[in-house]
Amino acid sequence: MCGFEEDSSIDKLIQTVPHIAFEVDDLDFELKNRDLNIITEPNPPPDGVRVAMIEHNGVPIELIEFER
């Protein structure tokens, strides 16, 4: 697995399958009101950004919200 430590806590799906990202206006709304398989809970990588990873049809998808 390229780029990840062997004991990484990052989900194996994220480590092994390329993903795409979709910008959403309200990350909390999307996660609460849609039937999504959340594999990484919302977290803030850099300031002003929140992301969560979901799995859909065996593929990881990143949902990203930018502070406005």
C-beta of residue 55 within 8 angstroms of C-beta of residue 37: yes
The span from the CA of 65 to the CA of 63, in Å, is: 7
Q: Is residue 2 part of a domain?
A: no
Look-up: residue for tokens 């909390």?
28
Residue 5 has pLDDT above 80, yes or no: yes
Residue 7 domain-assigned? no
Does residue 1 register a pLDDT over 50? no
CATH of the domain at 51: 3.10.180.10
Helix ranges (H only) for 1-68 are 12-16, 27-33
As for how many domains the chain has, the answer is 1
CA 1 – CA 41 distance, rounded (Å): 22
User: Is residue 38, in this structure, part of any structural domain at all?
Assistant: yes
Answer yes or no: is pLDDT of 4 > 90: no
> pLDDT tens, 21-56?
999 999 999 999 999 999 999 998 888 999 999 999
43 domain-assigned: yes
